[in-house]
Amino acid sequence: MSADRPTALVTGASGGIGEALARRLAADDHDHDLVLAARSADRLASLADELRRSHQIDVTVIVSDLARPGAAADLVAALGDRRIDVLVNNAGVGLYGPFLDSDPAALSGMLQLNMVSLAELTRALVPAMAARGSGRVLQVASTAAFMPGPLMAGYYATKAFVLSLSEALADEWKGSGVTVTALCPGPIATGFQAGADMGDSKLVKGKRLMTAEECAAVGVRAMNRGRVVAIPGLGNRVQALSPRFLPRRLVPGIVRRAQAPSH
Protein backbone atom coordinates (compact mmCIF):
# COMPACT_ATOMS: atom_id res chain seq x y z
CA MET A 1 0.00 0.00 0.00
CA SER A 2 1.45 3.38 -0.95
CA ALA A 3 0.27 6.47 0.93
CA ASP A 4 0.61 8.95 -1.94
CA ARG A 5 -1.04 7.28 -4.94
CA PRO A 6 -4.57 8.49 -5.83
CA THR A 7 -7.07 5.99 -4.53
CA ALA A 8 -10.79 5.28 -4.91
CA LEU A 9 -12.75 3.74 -2.02
CA VAL A 10 -15.80 1.73 -3.11
CA THR A 11 -18.25 0.46 -0.50
CA GLY A 12 -20.41 -2.54 -1.33
CA ALA A 13 -17.83 -3.67 -3.87
CA SER A 14 -18.41 -7.41 -3.36
CA GLY A 15 -21.23 -7.63 -5.92
CA GLY A 16 -23.79 -5.87 -8.09
CA ILE A 17 -23.39 -2.18 -8.91
CA GLY A 18 -20.43 -1.69 -6.52
CA GLU A 19 -18.43 -4.49 -8.15
CA ALA A 20 -19.24 -3.03 -11.59
CA LEU A 21 -18.18 0.44 -10.40
CA ALA A 22 -14.89 -0.96 -9.06
CA ARG A 23 -14.23 -2.76 -12.36
CA ARG A 24 -15.04 0.39 -14.32
CA LEU A 25 -12.78 2.58 -12.16
CA ALA A 26 -9.94 0.08 -12.51
CA ALA A 27 -10.35 -0.15 -16.28
CA ASP A 28 -10.84 3.57 -16.90
CA ASP A 29 -8.03 5.00 -14.90
CA HIS A 30 -4.95 2.92 -14.14
CA ASP A 31 -3.57 5.80 -12.06
CA HIS A 32 -6.01 4.98 -9.29
CA ASP A 33 -5.54 2.28 -6.71
CA LEU A 34 -8.65 0.83 -5.12
CA VAL A 35 -9.91 0.13 -1.63
CA LEU A 36 -12.83 -2.30 -1.67
CA ALA A 37 -15.15 -2.56 1.35
CA ALA A 38 -18.09 -4.84 2.19
CA ARG A 39 -18.80 -7.82 4.49
CA SER A 40 -17.98 -10.71 2.10
CA ALA A 41 -14.23 -11.17 2.54
CA ASP A 42 -13.89 -13.97 -0.02
CA ARG A 43 -15.70 -12.14 -2.81
CA LEU A 44 -13.70 -8.97 -2.15
CA ALA A 45 -10.44 -10.92 -2.13
CA SER A 46 -11.10 -12.63 -5.45
CA LEU A 47 -12.17 -9.36 -7.12
CA ALA A 48 -9.04 -7.66 -5.71
CA ASP A 49 -6.81 -10.44 -7.08
CA GLU A 50 -8.39 -10.20 -10.50
CA LEU A 51 -8.12 -6.38 -10.69
CA ARG A 52 -4.50 -6.40 -9.48
CA ARG A 53 -3.58 -8.91 -12.17
CA SER A 54 -5.52 -7.34 -15.03
CA HIS A 55 -4.77 -3.66 -14.35
CA GLN A 56 -1.48 -3.63 -12.35
CA ILE A 57 -3.02 -1.48 -9.65
CA ASP A 58 -2.87 -1.75 -5.87
CA VAL A 59 -6.15 -3.09 -4.47
CA THR A 60 -6.79 -3.23 -0.71
CA VAL A 61 -9.67 -5.08 0.90
CA ILE A 62 -11.30 -3.85 4.11
CA VAL A 63 -14.00 -6.10 5.55
CA SER A 64 -16.63 -3.86 7.07
CA ASP A 65 -20.26 -4.18 8.17
CA LEU A 66 -21.49 -0.64 7.55
CA ALA A 67 -24.90 -1.42 9.07
CA ARG A 68 -23.17 -1.42 12.46
CA PRO A 69 -23.03 1.91 14.34
CA GLY A 70 -19.40 3.05 14.48
CA ALA A 71 -18.39 1.02 11.40
CA ALA A 72 -17.73 4.08 9.24
CA ALA A 73 -15.27 5.44 11.83
CA ASP A 74 -13.57 2.03 12.00
CA LEU A 75 -13.27 1.96 8.21
CA VAL A 76 -11.72 5.44 8.20
CA ALA A 77 -9.30 4.31 10.92
CA ALA A 78 -8.38 1.23 8.86
CA LEU A 79 -7.47 3.53 5.96
CA GLY A 80 -4.78 5.12 8.13
CA ASP A 81 -2.96 7.85 6.21
CA ARG A 82 -4.22 6.48 2.89
CA ARG A 83 -5.20 9.31 0.56
CA ILE A 84 -8.74 8.92 -0.84
CA ASP A 85 -9.42 10.89 -4.02
CA VAL A 86 -12.66 9.19 -5.06
CA LEU A 87 -15.30 8.09 -2.55
CA VAL A 88 -18.00 5.79 -3.89
CA ASN A 89 -20.76 5.29 -1.29
CA ASN A 90 -22.56 2.41 -2.94
CA ALA A 91 -23.34 -0.15 -0.19
CA GLY A 92 -27.06 -0.32 0.46
CA VAL A 93 -29.97 -2.68 1.01
CA GLY A 94 -33.75 -2.57 0.59
CA LEU A 95 -36.68 -3.94 2.57
CA TYR A 96 -39.85 -4.86 0.72
CA GLY A 97 -43.27 -5.10 2.38
CA PRO A 98 -45.49 -3.09 4.71
CA PHE A 99 -43.46 -0.89 7.07
CA LEU A 100 -45.10 -2.31 10.19
CA ASP A 101 -44.21 -5.87 9.14
CA SER A 102 -40.49 -5.07 8.78
CA ASP A 103 -38.04 -6.65 11.17
CA PRO A 104 -36.99 -3.82 13.55
CA ALA A 105 -33.31 -4.83 13.52
CA ALA A 106 -33.26 -5.06 9.71
CA LEU A 107 -34.91 -1.65 9.50
CA SER A 108 -32.33 -0.07 11.83
CA GLY A 109 -29.50 -1.72 9.88
CA MET A 110 -30.84 -0.36 6.60
CA LEU A 111 -31.12 3.18 7.98
CA GLN A 112 -27.59 2.96 9.38
CA LEU A 113 -26.11 1.55 6.16
CA ASN A 114 -28.00 3.57 3.54
CA MET A 115 -27.85 6.94 5.33
CA VAL A 116 -25.72 7.21 8.48
CA SER A 117 -22.59 5.40 7.28
CA LEU A 118 -22.80 7.17 3.91
CA ALA A 119 -22.99 10.58 5.61
CA GLU A 120 -20.24 9.69 8.11
CA LEU A 121 -17.83 8.50 5.40
CA THR A 122 -18.52 11.67 3.41
CA ARG A 123 -17.96 13.86 6.46
CA ALA A 124 -14.74 12.05 7.36
CA LEU A 125 -13.08 11.75 3.95
CA VAL A 126 -14.01 14.92 2.05
CA PRO A 127 -12.09 17.47 4.21
CA ALA A 128 -8.75 16.10 2.93
CA MET A 129 -10.05 16.29 -0.67
CA ALA A 130 -11.13 19.90 -0.09
CA ALA A 131 -7.72 20.72 1.39
CA ARG A 132 -6.08 19.34 -1.79
CA GLY A 133 -8.63 21.18 -3.97
CA SER A 134 -9.75 18.06 -5.80
CA GLY A 135 -11.89 15.01 -5.24
CA ARG A 136 -14.95 13.12 -6.43
CA VAL A 137 -17.82 11.64 -4.44
CA LEU A 138 -20.32 9.26 -6.02
CA GLN A 139 -23.38 8.53 -3.86
CA VAL A 140 -25.56 5.68 -5.06
CA ALA A 141 -29.17 6.78 -4.55
CA SER A 142 -32.08 5.49 -6.70
CA THR A 143 -35.06 6.68 -8.71
CA ALA A 144 -36.81 5.86 -5.40
CA ALA A 145 -35.28 9.12 -4.14
CA PHE A 146 -37.77 11.17 -6.15
CA MET A 147 -41.03 9.84 -4.62
CA PRO A 148 -42.52 8.22 -1.51
CA GLY A 149 -42.69 4.43 -1.87
CA PRO A 150 -45.42 2.52 -0.04
CA LEU A 151 -44.37 -1.15 0.41
CA MET A 152 -40.74 0.02 0.51
CA ALA A 153 -41.41 3.14 2.57
CA GLY A 154 -38.22 3.12 4.63
CA TYR A 155 -35.98 2.33 1.65
CA TYR A 156 -37.42 5.13 -0.51
CA ALA A 157 -36.96 7.55 2.38
CA THR A 158 -33.29 6.57 2.75
CA LYS A 159 -32.69 7.31 -0.93
CA ALA A 160 -34.49 10.67 -0.67
CA PHE A 161 -31.96 11.44 2.09
CA VAL A 162 -29.03 10.51 -0.15
CA LEU A 163 -30.28 12.65 -3.04
CA SER A 164 -31.11 15.63 -0.83
CA LEU A 165 -27.74 15.46 0.95
CA SER A 166 -25.87 15.18 -2.35
CA GLU A 167 -27.64 18.11 -4.03
CA ALA A 168 -27.07 20.31 -0.97
CA LEU A 169 -23.39 19.34 -0.71
CA ALA A 170 -22.87 20.00 -4.43
CA ASP A 171 -23.94 23.57 -3.70
CA GLU A 172 -21.83 23.89 -0.53
CA TRP A 173 -18.74 22.58 -2.34
CA LYS A 174 -18.98 24.80 -5.42
CA GLY A 175 -15.54 26.15 -6.24
CA SER A 176 -13.79 23.75 -3.81
CA GLY A 177 -12.63 21.32 -6.50
CA VAL A 178 -14.66 18.53 -4.89
CA THR A 179 -17.72 17.31 -6.78
CA VAL A 180 -20.57 15.09 -5.64
CA THR A 181 -22.78 13.03 -7.92
CA ALA A 182 -25.98 11.22 -6.93
CA LEU A 183 -26.38 8.16 -9.16
CA CYS A 184 -30.11 7.31 -9.29
CA PRO A 185 -30.67 3.95 -11.00
CA GLY A 186 -34.04 2.35 -11.65
CA PRO A 187 -34.26 -1.43 -11.19
CA ILE A 188 -30.90 -3.11 -11.98
CA ALA A 189 -30.25 -6.85 -12.28
CA THR A 190 -28.26 -7.56 -9.08
CA GLY A 191 -28.69 -9.44 -5.83
CA PHE A 192 -30.62 -6.41 -4.51
CA GLN A 193 -34.11 -7.75 -5.36
CA ALA A 194 -33.51 -11.09 -3.62
CA GLY A 195 -31.94 -9.30 -0.64
CA ALA A 196 -34.97 -6.99 -0.36
CA ASP A 197 -37.37 -9.94 -0.84
CA MET A 198 -39.06 -8.11 -3.72
CA GLY A 199 -38.86 -10.74 -6.48
CA ASP A 200 -42.68 -10.79 -6.74
CA SER A 201 -43.02 -7.01 -7.13
CA LYS A 202 -44.53 -5.89 -10.45
CA LEU A 203 -41.63 -3.45 -10.67
CA VAL A 204 -39.18 -6.26 -11.43
CA LYS A 205 -40.98 -9.59 -12.03
CA GLY A 206 -40.58 -10.72 -15.63
CA LYS A 207 -38.93 -7.42 -16.63
CA ARG A 208 -35.66 -7.04 -18.52
CA LEU A 209 -33.59 -5.01 -16.11
CA MET A 210 -30.60 -2.80 -16.92
CA THR A 211 -27.26 -4.46 -16.06
CA ALA A 212 -24.95 -3.32 -13.30
CA GLU A 213 -22.26 -2.67 -15.94
CA GLU A 214 -24.53 -0.28 -17.89
CA CYS A 215 -25.42 1.50 -14.67
CA ALA A 216 -21.79 1.79 -13.56
CA ALA A 217 -20.72 3.21 -16.92
CA VAL A 218 -23.29 6.02 -16.59
CA GLY A 219 -22.29 6.63 -12.98
CA VAL A 220 -18.54 6.91 -13.57
CA ARG A 221 -19.02 9.11 -16.63
CA ALA A 222 -21.33 11.47 -14.71
CA MET A 223 -18.94 11.55 -11.76
CA ASN A 224 -15.96 12.37 -13.97
CA ARG A 225 -17.96 15.21 -15.53
CA GLY A 226 -18.95 16.52 -12.08
CA ARG A 227 -22.68 16.15 -12.76
CA VAL A 228 -24.84 16.44 -9.65
CA VAL A 229 -27.59 13.95 -10.57
CA ALA A 230 -27.36 11.02 -12.99
CA ILE A 231 -30.35 8.80 -13.83
CA PRO A 232 -29.40 5.92 -16.16
CA GLY A 233 -31.99 5.25 -18.89
CA LEU A 234 -34.55 7.53 -20.54
CA GLY A 235 -37.54 5.65 -19.08
CA ASN A 236 -36.11 6.05 -15.59
CA ARG A 237 -35.52 9.77 -16.15
CA VAL A 238 -39.15 10.22 -17.17
CA GLN A 239 -40.33 8.16 -14.19
CA ALA A 240 -38.16 10.14 -11.77
CA LEU A 241 -39.41 13.49 -13.06
CA SER A 242 -43.10 12.56 -13.37
CA PRO A 243 -44.09 13.21 -9.70
CA ARG A 244 -43.38 16.90 -10.33
CA PHE A 245 -46.32 17.05 -12.74
CA LEU A 246 -48.80 15.16 -10.53
CA PRO A 247 -50.70 16.29 -7.43
CA ARG A 248 -48.50 15.22 -4.51
CA ARG A 249 -51.34 13.29 -2.79
CA LEU A 250 -51.71 10.96 -5.82
CA VAL A 251 -48.07 9.84 -6.02
CA PRO A 252 -47.95 7.31 -3.12
CA GLY A 253 -50.92 5.34 -4.50
CA ILE A 254 -49.39 5.22 -7.99
CA VAL A 255 -46.07 3.95 -6.62
CA ARG A 256 -47.82 1.38 -4.39
CA ARG A 257 -49.73 -0.03 -7.35
CA ALA A 258 -46.56 -0.10 -9.48
CA GLN A 259 -44.63 -2.19 -6.98
CA ALA A 260 -47.39 -4.33 -5.46
CA PRO A 261 -46.93 -8.12 -5.71
CA SER A 262 -47.81 -9.40 -9.18
CA HIS A 263 -50.29 -12.05 -7.90
Give the residues lining the site for ligand NAP (CB under 6 A). 11-18, 38-40, 64-67, 90-94, 113, 140, 142, 185, 187-188, 190-192, 195
7 vs 201 by CB, closer to ligand NAP: 201
169 vs 215 by CB, closer to ligand NAP: 215
The DSSP annotation for 30-78 comes to TT-EEEEEES-HHHHHHHHHHHHHHH---EEEEE--TTSTTHHHHHHHH
How many whole angstroms separate alpha carbon 142 and alpha carbon 97?
Answer: 18
14 vs 102 by CB, closer to ligand NAP: 14
Query: One of 55, 75, 140, 155 is an active-site residue; which one?
Result: 155
Q: Which candidate, 172, 171, 180, places its Cα nearest to that of 222? A: 180
Minimum distance between the CB of residue 28 and ligand NAP, rounded to whole angstroms? 19
26 vs 188 by CB, closer to ligand NAP: 188
Minimum distance between the CB of residue 58 and ligand NAP, rounded to whole angstroms? 20
Minimum distance between the CB of residue 62 and ligand NAP, rounded to whole angstroms? 10
Minimum distance between the CB of residue 191 and ligand NAP, rounded to whole angstroms? 4
Residue 96 annotated as catalytic: no
Plot region of 58 (φ>0 → left; ψ -120 to 50 → alpha; else → beta): beta
Q: What is the DSSP letter of 245?
A: G
How many whole angstroms separate alpha carbon 239 and alpha carbon 255?
Answer: 10
Positions annotated as catalytic residues are: 155
